[in-house]
Structure 1
Amino acid sequence: MKIIIKVLKGKDCTLEVSPTSTIQELKEKIDVALQIPATNQKLLLLGRPLNNDQTIASYPNIKEGTKLILVVMKPGLRDCIHRAFRKYYTEAQAERLTNEFMTDFEAKLKEQSLDDLERFADNCL
């Protein structure tokens, strides 16, 4: 069946999906079609978010021609780092490097005092 994805403040796209596809699989199709990472997507039907683990058939209101609203969330630090690593490494390597980077980053951040963070923030402004 074909469903329409309406991007808020963006364009529409039509995708072919099967009723047995999960919402996560739909998000991966949107990633390919619109280059919006699945982790930054929130799909809404009648104003309610769709659960990644549910199938399309589990939502009785989704049928041929249904329009889903796609809200694009800003990527977090982890997503930005992962995207940068993916440019130069395989997906598995990028995931491993991202995890190591985030672990190291969080450890270093915990070592900082509030005064250190305030000085850093003042320097950035």
Structure 2
Amino acid sequence: MQITIKVLKGQDCLLEVLPTSTILEVKQQIEGELQISAANQKLLLMGRPLNNDQTIASYPNIKQGTKLNLVVMKPCLRDSILRGFRKHFPEQQSERLTNEFMADFERKLTEQSLDDLERFADSIVSRVPT
């Protein structure tokens, strides 16, 4: 069956899906069509989010011609770092470098005192134009 994906503030995308397709598989199709990471997608039907583990058939309101809304969420820090490494390194090395970076980042973050974090936050807030 064909369904339409409506990207909020973006274009529409027509997909061919099976009743047995999971929502995650639909998101992966969208990733292939629109180059929006499946991890950054939230699919909505009548304003309600769809569960990645559920199939199309488990939502009786999804039928031929149904329009699903796609909300694109901002990527997390890890996704941004991984995307940067992918520009310069093969996938496996990018994953390894990202994991090492995140472990080092978290280790250094936990070494900071609350006073250090507060000073850091104040310095960022003071740079934001009002």
Fold agreement, TM-score > 0.5:
yes
AA matched with 2:61: N
Q: TM-score by structure 2 length?
A: 0.87
Gaps of 5+ in 2: none
Q: Deviations over 1:45-95 (max 9, x none)?
A: 111111111111221111111000101111111110111122223333322
Aligned counterpart, 2:95: 95
Q: Distance in 2 between matches of 1:53 and 1:9?
A: 27
TM-score (norm 1): 0.91
**1:57 corresponds to 2:57:** yes
In 2, Cα distance between the equivalents of 1:118 and 1:14?
Answer: 48
> What secondary structure does 2:102 align onto?
helix
Give 1:1-125 correspondences, 5 Å limit: 1-124=1-124, 125=127
User: What is the identity percentage for the equivalent residue pairs of Structure 1 and Structure 2?
Assistant: 74
| Cα distance in 2 between the residues matched to 1:17 and 1:95 | 30
User: Secondary structure of the residue that 2:96 maps to in structure 1?
Assistant: helix
